[in-house]
Amino acid sequence: MNNPENIKHKKRVTRNNKIASYVISAGGFGIILSIAAILLFLVYKSYPLSSDANLEKISTASSGKNKVILMGMDRFQEINYSLSENGEISFSSNSSRKVFSVKNIDLEENERIIFADKGSLRNETFALITNLNRIITAEIKMTAKYQNDKRQIVPSLEIIEEFKADSSGFSIKNFIFTFNENSDRIYSWTDSGNNLNLRIFGFDDEEIFQHNLSGFMNSDEIKSCAVNHSGEILICGTKTGELFWFDISDFEEPELIDNWKAGESEITAMEFLLGDNSLVTGDGKGFVSVWFPVRNSEGVQKFNRIHKFKKHQRSVERIFVSSRNRTFMTIDAGGEIILNYSTTCHTSLKFRQSQKKVVSASFSPKSDAILVTDEENSTGIYTLDDKHPEVSFKTLFNKVWYEGYPEPDFVWQSSGGSDEFEPKMSLIPLIFGTLKGTFYAMIFSVPLAILAAIYVSQFAPKKFALIVKPTVEIMAALPSVVIGFLAGLYFSPLFEKNLMFLFFFTAILPVFFLFAIISWKYIPEEKKVKLPGGSEMLYVIPFAVMAFIAASFLSIPIENTFFGGNINQWFYEVLDTKYDQRNSLVVGFALGFAVIPIIFTISEDALSNVPKSLTSAALALGASRWQTVKRIVIPAAAGGIFSAIMLGLGRAIGETMIVLMATGNTPILEMNPFNGFRAMSATIAVEIPEAPVDGSLYRVLFLTALLLFVFTFIINSLAAVIGDKLRKKYARF
Amino acid sequence: MNSLKEYFRKGDPYVLLSSLGLILSLVMVVFFVGIILVKGLSIFWPSDVELVQLKDGTKYLGELWSSEENKITNPDHSINVVPKVQYKTGNRDIYGFDFKWIDKSEIVSISNPADATVFERKEYGNFYGFIKKVAFKGKEYTKNNELFDKATEALDYSENLVEKQADLMKSGNPDAEDKIEKLNAEISSIQILIESADGSLNTFSLSKFVGFYQPNQMNLFEKSIHYLLNIWTFISGEPRESNTEGGVFPAIFGTVMMVILMSVLVVPFGVLAAVYLNEYAKQGLLTRIIRLSVNNLAGVPSIVYGIFGLGFFIYMIGGSIDTFFFSEKLPEPTYGTGGILWASLTLALLTLPVVVVATEEGILAVPKANKEGALALGATKWQMIRKIVLPNAAPGILTGLILAISRGAGEVAPLMITGVVKLAPAMPLDTIFPFFHPDRKFMHLGFHIYDVGFQSPNVEAAVPMVYSTALLLIIIVVFLNLLAIFLRNKMRKKYKSASF
Q: Summarize pLDDT for A601-640 with one digit per residue, the tens.
A: 989 988 988 888 888 998 899 888 888 998 889 988 888 8
In a domain, A69, yes or no: yes
In a domain, A426, yes or no: no
**Residue B292 to chain A, least CA–CA distance (Å):** 8
Q: Average per-residue pLDDT in chain B? A: 85
Question: Which range, of A237-246, A495-504, A519-528, B218-227, averages the lowest pLDDT?
Answer: A519-528
In a domain, A347, yes or no: yes
A532: preceding bond cis by omega (within 30 degrees): no
Q: For residues A560 and A553, what is the distance between their CA atoms, to the nearest angstrom?
A: 12
SS3 label, residue A211: strand
Number of folded domains that form chain A:
2
Q: What is the pLDDT of residue B159?
A: 85
Q: Summarize pLDDT for A279-331 with one digit per residue, the tens.
A: 999 988 889 999 998 888 888 888 888 889 988 888 998 999 998 888 999 99
Check if the beta carbon of residue A231 is closer than 8 Å to that of residue A248. yes
Helices (H) and strands (E) in chain A, counts: 17, 30
pLDDT above 70 covers what percent of chain B?
97
Dihedral angle sign, alpha carbons of residues B315, B320, B322, B323: positive
Q: What is the reported pTM?
A: 0.89
Q: Which residue of B has its CA nearest to A464?
A: B22
Dihedral angle sign, alpha carbons of residues B381, B387, B392, B396: positive
Q: Which residue of B has its CA nearest to A467?
A: B26
Q: Average per-residue pLDDT in chain A? A: 87
CB contact under 8 A, A593 and B276: no
Contacts of A64-67 spanning 24+ positions with Cβ under 8 A: A64/A88, A64/A90, A64/A377, A65/A377, A66/A377, A67/A359, A67/A377
Average pLDDT estimate for A368-376: 89
Judged by CB atoms within 8 Å, which residues 265-324 of A form the interface with B? none
SS3 label, residue B422: coil
* CATH number listed for the domain at residues B249-495: 1.10.3720.10
Q: For residues A327 and A332, what is the distance between their CA atoms, to the nearest angstrom?
A: 17
Q: Summarize pLDDT for A317-369 with one digit per residue, the tens.
A: 899 999 888 899 999 888 899 999 988 888 888 888 888 888 889 999 888 89
Closest CA to A427 of A700, A661, A685: A700
CB contact under 8 A, B410 and A478: yes
Judged by CB atoms within 8 Å, which residues 185-214 of A form the interface with B? none
| Cβ-nearest to B19 among A459, A593, A629 | A459
Closest CA to A588 of A709, A670, A492, A509: A492
Q: Summarize pLDDT for A386-411 with one digit per residue, the tens.
A: 888 888 888 889 888 888 888 888 98
The CATH number of the domain where A526 resides is what?
Answer: 1.10.3720
Q: Which residues of B356-388 are buried (b: 16+ CB within 10 A; e: fewer)?
A: bbbbbbbbebbbeeebeebeeeebbbbbbbeeb
Q: What is the CA radius of gyration of chain A?
A: 37
Q: Which residue of B has its CA nearest to A566?
A: B71
pLDDT above 90 covers what percent of chain A?
26
Average pLDDT estimate for A498-514: 90
Q: Is the predicted pLDDT of residue A599 greater than 90, yes or no? A: yes
CA count, 13 A, side-chain hemisphere, B411: 32
Residues 6+ apart with CB under 8 A from A487: A586, A587, A589, A590, A658, A661, A662
Q: What angle do CA A447, A450, A456 make, to 5 degrees?
A: 135
DSSP H/E element including B116: strand B116-121
Q: What is the pLDDT of residue B102?
A: 86
CB contact under 8 A, A451 and B18: yes
Question: Are A282 and A361 within one domain?
Answer: yes
Instruction: Sort A160 into a burial class: Cβ within 10 Å, 0-12 / 13-18 / 19+.
Output: middle
Q: Which candidate in A19, A657, A722 is best for mutational testing of the B interface (most B CBs within 10 A)?
A: A657
Question: Are A377 and A457 within one domain?
Answer: no
In a domain, A416, yes or no: no
Axis crossing angle, helix B285-299 with helix B340-364, rounded to the nearest 10: 130
Question: Are A159 and A287 within one domain?
Answer: yes
CB contact under 8 A, A693 and B315: yes
Question: Are A451 and A349 within one domain?
Answer: no
Q: pLDDT class for A40, splitting at 50, 70, 90?
A: very high
Q: Summarize pLDDT for A178-192 with one digit per residue, the tens.
A: 998 888 899 998 888
Q: What is the pLDDT of residue B274?
A: 92
Q: Summarize pLDDT for A688-712 with one digit per residue, the tens.
A: 988 888 888 999 999 999 999 999 9
CB contact under 8 A, A477 and B478: yes
Closest CA to A431 of A245, A183, A109, A684: A684
Question: Are A379 and A446 within one domain?
Answer: no
Q: For residues B40 and A490, what is the distance between their CA atoms, to the nearest angstrom?
A: 13
Q: Where are the domains of chain B?
A: 50-217, 249-495
Q: Is the predicted pLDDT of residue A588 greater than 60, yes or no? A: yes
Q: pLDDT class for A443, splitting at 50, 70, 90?
A: very high
Q: Summarize pLDDT for A450-501 with one digit per residue, the tens.
A: 999 999 998 888 888 888 888 888 888 889 999 999 998 899 988 888 888 8
Show the 3-state SS of A95-159.
CCCCEEEEEECCCCCCCCEEEEEECCCCCEEEEEEECCCEEEEEEEEEEEEEECCEEEEEEEEEE
Q: What is the pLDDT of residue A548?
A: 92
CB contact under 8 A, B453 and A480: no
In a domain, A2, yes or no: no
Residues 6+ apart with CB under 8 A from A113: A69, A83, A84, A85, A86, A87, A105, A107, A128, A129, A130
| Alpha-carbon distance values, A708 to A470, A650, A668, A684 (Å) | 30, 9, 19, 11
Q: For residues A704 and A683, what is the distance between their CA atoms, to the nearest angstrom?
A: 9
Residues of chain B in contact with residue A548, where contact means CB-CB under 8 angstroms, are none
Q: pLDDT class for B486, splitting at 50, 70, 90?
A: confident
Dihedral angle sign, alpha carbons of residues A705, A708, A712, A713: positive
Question: Are A131 and A212 within one domain?
Answer: yes
Inter-chain Cβ pairs, chain A and chain B, closer than 8 A: 314
Q: What is the pLDDT of residue B500?
A: 42
In a domain, A65, yes or no: yes
Residues of chain B in contact with residue A452, where contact means CB-CB under 8 angstroms, are 18, 21-22, 24-26
Question: Are A446 and A312 within one domain?
Answer: no
Residues 6+ apart with CB under 8 A from B410: A477, A478, A479, A480, A481, A482, B446, B473, B477
Dihedral angle sign, alpha carbons of residues A356, A357, A362, A368: positive
Q: pLDDT class for B437, splitting at 50, 70, 90?
A: confident
Q: Is the predicted pLDDT of residue B263 greater than 60, yes or no? A: yes
Question: Are A391 and A438 within one domain?
Answer: no
Q: What is the pLDDT of residue A111?
A: 87
Average pLDDT estimate for B297-308: 92
Judged by CB atoms within 8 Å, which residues 661-700 of A form the interface with B? 661, 681, 684-685, 688-689, 693
The CATH number of the domain where A342 resides is what?
Answer: 2.130.10.10
CB contact under 8 A, B410 and A483: no
Closest CA to A38 of B414, B93, B435: B414
Question: Are A205 and A89 within one domain?
Answer: yes
Q: What is the pLDDT of residue B283?
A: 81
Average pLDDT estimate for B150-169: 83
* Total Cβ atoms within 10 A of residue A115: 18
In the DSSP assignment, the letter for residue B495 is H
Q: What is the CA radius of gyration of chain B?
A: 30
| Cβ-nearest to A517 among B16, B307, B473 | B16
Question: Are A121 and A182 within one domain?
Answer: yes
Judged by CB atoms within 8 Å, which residues 544-573 of A form the interface with B? 544, 560, 564-566, 569
Average pLDDT estimate for A554-574: 79
Residues of chain A in contact with residue B312, where contact means CB-CB under 8 angstroms, are 37, 41
pLDDT above 90 covers what percent of chain B?
20
Q: pLDDT class for B499, splitting at 50, 70, 90?
A: very low
Average pLDDT estimate for B469-490: 87
Residues 6+ apart with CB under 8 A from A205: none
Check if the beta carbon of residue A67 is closer than 8 Å to that of residue A359. yes
Q: The domain containing residue A223 runs over which residues? A: 55-397
Instruction: Sort A297 into a burial class: Cβ within 10 Å, 0-12 / 13-18 / 19+.
Output: exposed
CB contact under 8 A, A715 and B299: yes
Q: Summarize pLDDT for B374-404 with one digit per residue, the tens.
A: 999 988 889 999 888 998 888 889 888 888 9
Q: Is the predicted pLDDT of residue B497 greater than 60, yes or no? A: no
Chain B CB within 8 Å of residue A657 CB: yes
Residues of chain A in contact with residue B352, where contact means CB-CB under 8 angstroms, are 31, 34
Q: What is the pLDDT of residue A732?
A: 54
Residues of chain A in contact with residue B15, where contact means CB-CB under 8 angstroms, are 455, 459, 536, 625-626
In a domain, A418, yes or no: no
Q: For residues A446 and A602, what is the distance between their CA atoms, to the nearest angstrom?
A: 12
In a domain, A200, yes or no: yes
pLDDT above 70 covers what percent of chain A?
99
Q: What is the pLDDT of residue A42?
A: 94
Question: Are A436 and A481 within one domain?
Answer: yes
Question: Are A387 and A443 within one domain?
Answer: no
Q: For residues A82 and A373, what is the distance between their CA atoms, to the nearest angstrom?
A: 9
Helices (H) and strands (E) in chain B, counts: 17, 13
